[in-house]
Amino acid sequence: MAEAQKEDKLANKKITTRAENYSDWYLDVVEAAELAEHAAVRGCMVIKPYGYAIWETIQKTLDAKFKETGVQNAYFPLFIPKKFLEKEAEHVEGFSPEVAVVTYAGGAELKEPLIVRPTSETIMYDAFSRWVQSYRDLPLLINQWANVVRWEMRPRLFLRTTEFLWQEGHTVHATQEEADERARLMLGIYKDLAEELLAIPVIPGVKSEGQKFAGALRTYSVEAMMQDGKSLQFATSHNLGDNFSKVFGIQFSDSQGNKQFGWQTSWGLSTRSIGALIMVHSDDNGLVLPPQVAPIQIVIVPVWPKENEKEAVDLEVKKIVEEIKNSKNFRFVVDNSDKRPGEKFFAWERKGVPLRLEIGLKDIANNSVVLARRDTAEKKTVKRDVLLPEIEKLLAEIQKNLYGRALDYRNKKIKEVDNLADFKKEIANGNFVLAYWCEDKETEAKIKEETGAVVSCIPLEQTSSEGKCVYSGKLSKRKAFFAKSY
């Protein structure tokens, strides 16, 4: 009994509301939905089965999209010789403070310490310099699914963890144009993944010089807005130019037999995307998941207030289960636990299951069931003979509604301004600011200092007009998005 009470207490722990404390709300949602927990090692996390199932769906979807464009998977070592990381000046400067170092192994001090990979440009490009010899070897299109380590001082589940899971794609091309096209192609794949699978609207753009990847010529990203108005970098795609190929000697003979350096890209998406998924859709009752990525799309809850009703209800549930199994690939569970229906509803709501199917004796008599939506809390009585098409329709509607809702919310919070006073006011109000910007590094630093906002991205879509920089007043060709950032 004591155990059962302890369990109930945990299961019923109140979720902090977003208004009370957004940051506590986030952690409460992660805990209540059993997505992940802090590990014994500071900064690291344990991704629990329910959270990992989300990652598996992201992986599967993205991997298929990559392969359609000719990308092949491979695997490179976890350890990077220190001298490799040091070869590219900006790159080592960018990563040095974050690295973990193995100094002792196999029972002895190592002669050369090994870096636990924070990213794999250097170790991969050492191999690429052997793999690429002729223009016939190009383009080289490689991806790896792996864990990486960047020492994190202020860890936060999914959003910032010392170890995280990701994929990193790395390509080599014969021309700079082709490399830039590839970087944009992969950006488009990330955009589709965010919008179609996760129902997260994103803005494709270019990072400012101050925010770009260490060693890149140009960093593209897709940026999402969280409900607190902060921006989150959902995924990045870098045009590396020939910075790394010159350092690692990635050279090919062109069709005339002349030696040329390769043009490169790298692109990645991490378990951080799950943090975005949580923050974009969830509410004060817990997690909300779009059906396409939900590990469980439907929970079936049999309702038998009296013990003697159980048999008839369970029989009908079994029929429904058979129907679903025989016709559709819905991911579903039946909650047969001995909790009361209300407790069950509460628990599955917190786990963000998109659709709940309730069925009791009265429903059976009416030849119907009740379907309840997680996104809108609407309930609908549905005749048994149209149950499967209704479920299919509702799941599609929920997916669409979540995307539309997130898009409306974001668009309302985008404020276009042309002066610093308005800029400061809108940032303070938790909005995204769109404004002309001169793209100077110093301006960027000053804006951050004075407002707390950073350049989220310079959106790829721009009108052809020009205007005055919101900070420096200089004539500027492009607008940028500014926001506080994760």
276: its two tokens: 């975005």
Residues 6+ apart with CB under 8 A from 300: 317, 320, 321, 332, 333, 334, 335, 357, 359
> Between 251 and 485, whose beta carbon lies closer to a second copy?
251
174 binds a second copy (CB under 8 A): no
78 counts as binding a second copy under rule CB under 8 A = yes
For residue 280 the two structure tokens come to 């974009």
> Binding to a second copy by residue 134, rule CB under 8 A?
yes
Site membership for a second copy, residue 101 (CB under 8 A): yes
- What is the smallest separation between the CB atom of 330 and a second copy, expressed in angstroms? 16
Cβ–Cβ contacts within 10 Å for residue 222, how many?
28
Rank residues 151 and 409 by Cβ distance to a second copy and give the closer one.
151
- Confirm or reject binding of residue 123 to a second copy (CB under 8 A): yes
Q: Judged by CB under 8 A, does residue 74 bind a second copy? A: yes
Note whether 365 binds a second copy by CB under 8 A.
no
96 binding a second copy? (CB under 8 A): yes
Residue with tokens 């030849």: 367
Q: From 105-113, 300-308, 373-381, 423-431, give the range in contact with a second copy by CB under 8 A.
A: 105-113
Q: Which tokens belong to 286?
A: 């817990």
Of the pair 113, 452, the CB lying nearest a second copy is at 113
12 versus 376: smaller Cβ distance to a second copy? 12
The answer to whether residue 336 forms part of the interface with a second copy (CB under 8 A) is no
Q: Of the ranges 48-56, 169-177, 219-227, 363-371, which one interacts with a second copy (CB under 8 A)? A: 48-56
Backbone phi and psi for residue 379, each to the nearest 5 degrees, phi listed first: -115, 145
Contacts 24+ apart (CB under 8 A), 407-410: 407/201, 409/225, 409/227, 410/201, 410/225
Instruction: Select from 104, 306, 308, 463 the one that contacts a second copy (CB under 8 A).
Output: 104
Q: How far is the CB of 397 from a second copy (least distance, A)?
A: 29
53 near a second copy (CB under 8 A): yes
Residue type, 483: A
Instruction: Please report, for residues 302, 314, 338, the alpha-carbon distance to residue 335 in angstroms, rounded to integers and kept in the order given.
Output: 7, 11, 9
Taking the complex as a whole, the smallest distance from the CB of residue 40 to a second copy amounts, in Å, to 5
Candidates 5, 14, 19, 107; binder of a second copy (CB under 8 A) is: 107
Quote the least distance from Cβ 102 to a second copy, whole Å. 5
Cα gap 320→383, rounded to integer Å: 12
Kindly state whether residue 80 participates in binding a second copy, applying the rule CB under 8 A: yes
Closest CA to 166 of 59, 61, 68: 59
Question: Is residue 7 involved in binding a second copy (CB under 8 A)?
Answer: yes
Distance CA 77, CA 64 (A): 24
- Binding span for a second copy by CB under 8 A among 22-30, 140-148, 318-326, 400-408: 140-148
From 11, 27, 127, 420, residue interacting with a second copy (rule: CB under 8 A): 127
Closest CA to 273 of 49, 32, 51: 51
Q: What minimum distance in Å lies between the beta carbon of 160 and a second copy?
A: 13
Residue burial 136-169, b: 16+ Cβ < 10 Å; e: rest: eebbbbbbbebebbbbbeebbbbbbbbbbbbbbb
Least separation, in Å, of the C-beta of 258 and a second copy?
A: 11
Q: Residue 339 carries which DSSP code?
A: S
**Per CB under 8 A, 64 contacts a second copy:** no
Residues 54 and 353 sit within 8 Å (Cβ to Cβ): no
Question: Does residue 256 belong to the site contacting a second copy (CB under 8 A)?
Answer: no
DSSP characters over 235-290: EEEEEEETHHHHHHT-EEE-TTS-EEE-EEEEEEEETHHHHHHHHHH-BTTB----
Does 68 contact a second copy by CB under 8 A?
A: no
Number of shown-chain residues binding a second copy (CB under 8 A):
63
Among 8, 20, 24, 56, binds a second copy (CB under 8 A): 56
Question: Residue 55, interface with a second copy (CB under 8 A)?
Answer: yes
257 binds a second copy (CB under 8 A): yes
- Of 167, 384, 403, the C-alpha closest to 273 is 167
Site residues (vs a second copy, CB under 8 A)? 1-4, 6-7, 37, 39-41, 44-49, 52-53, 55-56, 72-81, 84, 96-107, 113-114, 116, 123, 126-127, 133-134, 142, 146-147, 149, 151-153, 162-163, 165, 253, 257
